Structure 1
Amino acid sequence: MLSLGIIGWIIIGGLAGWIASKIMKTDAQQGLLLNIVLGIIGGFIGGWILSLFDVDVKGFGLILSFITCLIGACLLIWIVSMIRGRSRSHV
């Protein structure tokens, strides 16, 4: 997945982050930059999770890289929403 280069990471990350924010219904709260960051970090999270199951994302190309970023970004949005919800309930 690292072979995509920085431009590839930004494009795939931005698209995956944007779609993840649509799926998780947080798009109105986020801008383009946050969507890109979510997608890129989501790619690392998704890649790490898949590596635990001995799945080599690099060997499957662009489609699996995108799906990995998308799932990782959704997971990241869910984790952040759980932390935010928990911190607001204690105030």
Structure 2
Amino acid sequence: MGLFWGLIIGGLAGWISGNLMKGRGFGLLGNIVVGLVGGFLGGLLFRLLGLAATGLLGSLIMSVIGAVLLIYVVGKIRRR
């Protein structure tokens, strides 16, 4: 079940962050990848700041923050 919820949260986080940063999503697979990597980055960021995200909503918020950060950094690198 953990993998299932991870994919669902990753897809939602990728879709939300895609809409926030670019105005559109990245497709189903792209949203899942962006959301999963964003969840990893968000987890690292939250731990560095001494914060904790609990439950599905906390995981979604953490993943969205990480995915937005990921999209921002990739956008800055691509513009060079």
Q: TM-score, normalised by structure 2?
A: 0.91
Q: CA deviation at 1:55?
A: 2.0
Aligned partner (choices 36, 40, 64) of residue 36 of structure 2:
40
Structure 1 residue 12 corresponds to structure 2 residue 6: no
Q: CA deviation at 1:53?
A: 1.9
The CA distance in 2 between the partners of 1:67 and 1:56, in whole Å, is 11
Query: Where does residue 80 of structure 1 map in the other structure?
Result: 74
Q: TM-score, normalised by structure 1?
A: 0.81
Q: CA deviation at 1:27?
A: 2.2
1:31-75 Cα shifts (integer Å, max 9, x gaps):
210110000110000000010122233xx2111110000010011
Aligned partner (choices 48, 56, 60) of residue 62 of structure 1:
56
Query: Where does residue 47 of structure 2 map in the other structure?
Result: 51
Q: Which has the larger radius of gyration?
A: 1
Structure 1 unmatched ranges of 5 or more: 87-91
User: Which ranges of 4 or more aligned residues in structure 1 deviate by more than 3 Å?
Assistant: none
1:82 is aligned with what amino acid?
A: K
Aligned residues: 80
Q: Percent identity?
A: 49
